[in-house]
């Protein structure tokens, strides 16, 4: 192939509070020739997710921070455009961890690069309901939440990429499912389209009492991804033996000093009878990814699990789109369409 130029977005500075455009920089470089065992992947869709905010910070975390000047991390879906591997041919569709850039060179044995089939479900869904957010929901509820039919499950950020899947799987498992979302439109979608039993608007003046009314038998499982006032309200209604898998707490992500924030660990820990809780990573269940991928793809293809996407256009706009995650401007999974095939 003739030499390609590659646009990428790198981290220019560590954000203080909410990230802004000045914390990123657009760079152009040339794509190096492939070595044996390498494949060149053209990014078609880029996933934007809340965990990326933590990777912009130098604070100690479960994963190393992105270095200043390095390409922002991200899962992507794309197409193989050149290959020096017997494992991949030009035209294969793949998911990989390319980051915020147009092209990515992957080694053919990279476990985070794998083939997908857009003939089964749309390519973008492999970044959402059939990808990392979907797997987080699957393992977070089934393995970490340990559900028993008839129990009450409460899901924060219920219209979002993870929460929407948690609740729908919960219904399949025979749970009474209550969502928490922001605004009438999202609450109506969660109840009417996704089939949750109830959905409570955390922006309403009577949120606490509305949540109590929606959960007449208390709360057995709380799927946590928000924190803050939502968690404070939920914590008042736990039953004995409750479980609270924690996949994040976005309310604190833009804090100038997260060590001074009141997190779900503080809120749960203060309770006389705290729920079983821990921060889990989807990669804790890496050996069983194929199980989740197969189930999620089947459910989406059959229409058993519904999903919503917000698709932005253009790599250069990714920093602006990223801010939508914290304002609630996106509806469902947020992806960026980087290129046509």
Question: What would the two tokens of residue 254 be?
Answer: 């833009």
264 pLDDT band (50/70/90 cuts)? confident
186 belongs to a structural domain: yes
- Answer yes or no: are the C-beta atoms of 254 and 286 closer than 8 Å: no
Q: Count of domains in the chain?
A: 2
Distance CA 127, CA 129 (A): 7
CATH code where residue 39 lies: 3.90.180.10
20-29, 174-183, 272-281 — which is least confidently predicted?
272-281
Q: Helical H runs in 21-82?
A: 51-55
Predicted confidence (pLDDT) at residue 261 exceeds the cutoff of 80 = no
- Count the residues in the chain: 341
49 within a domain of the structure (yes/no) = yes
Angle between helix 132-139 and 289-302 (nearest 10): 110
Q: Give the model confidence (pLDDT) of 85-142 as tens digits.
A: 999 999 999 999 999 999 999 999 999 999 999 999 999 999 999 999 999 999 999 9
Same domain? For 160 and 230 the reply is yes
Give yes or no: residues 32 and 116 share one domain. yes
| Predicted pLDDT at 127 | 97
First-residue to last-residue Cα distance in the chain: 16
Q: Do 140 and 123 share a domain, yes or no?
A: no
Place of tokens 């928000």: 226
* Mean of the per-residue pLDDT values of the chain: 93
pLDDT for res 64: 86
Range of the domain at 85: 5-128+307-337
- The answer to whether residues 167 and 250 belong to one domain is yes
pLDDT at res. 253? 58
Do 143 and 260 belong to one domain? Answer: yes
What mean pLDDT do residues 159-164 have?
Answer: 93
Tokens of 226: 């928000």
292 in a domain, yes or no? Answer: no
Residues 31 and 123 in one domain: yes
**One domain for residues 256 and 321:** no
């Amino acid at each position: 192939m003739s030499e390609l130029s590659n646009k990428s977005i790198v981290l220019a500075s560590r954000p203080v509070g909410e990230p802004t455009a000045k914390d990123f920089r657009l760079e152009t470089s040339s794509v190096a020739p492939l070595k044996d065992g390498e494949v060149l992947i053209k990014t078609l869709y880029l996933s934007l997710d809340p965990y990326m905010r933590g990777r912009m910070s130098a604070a100690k975390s479960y994963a190393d921070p992105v270095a200043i000047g390095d390409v922002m991390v991200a899962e992507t879906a794309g197409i193989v455009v050149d290959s020096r591997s017997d494992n991949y041919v030009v035209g294969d569709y793949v998911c990989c961890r390319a980051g915020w850039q147009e092209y990515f060179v992957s080694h053919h044995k990279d476990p985070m690069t794998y083939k997908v089939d857009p003939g089964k479900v749309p390519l973008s869904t492999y970044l959402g309901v059939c990808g990392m957010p979907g797997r987080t929901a699957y393992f977070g509820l089934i393995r970490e939440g340990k559900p028993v039919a008839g129990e009450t499950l409460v899901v924060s950020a219920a219209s979002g990429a993870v929460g929407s899947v948690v609740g729908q799987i919960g219904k399949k498992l025979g749970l009474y499912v209550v969502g928490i979302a922001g605004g009438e439109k999202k609450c109506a979608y969660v109840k009417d389209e996704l089939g949750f039993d109830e959905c409570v608007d955390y922006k309403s003046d009577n949120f606490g009492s509305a949540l109590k009314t929606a959960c007449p038998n208390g709360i057995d499982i709380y799927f946590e991804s928000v924190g803050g006032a939502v968690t404070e309200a939920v914590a008042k209604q736990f039953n004995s033996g409750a479980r609270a898998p924690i996949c994040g707490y976005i309310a604190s992500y833009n804090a100038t000093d997260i060590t001074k924030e009141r997190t779900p660990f503080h809120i749960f820990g203060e309770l006389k009878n705290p729920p079983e809780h821990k921060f889990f990573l989807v990669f804790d269940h890496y050996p069983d990814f194929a199980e989740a991928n197969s189930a999620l793809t089947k459910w989406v293809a059959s229409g058993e699990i519904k999903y919503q996407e917000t698709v932005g256009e253009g790599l250069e706009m990714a920093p602006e789109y990223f801010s939508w995650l914290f304002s609630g401007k996106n509806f469902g999974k947020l992806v960026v369409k980087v290129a046509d095939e």
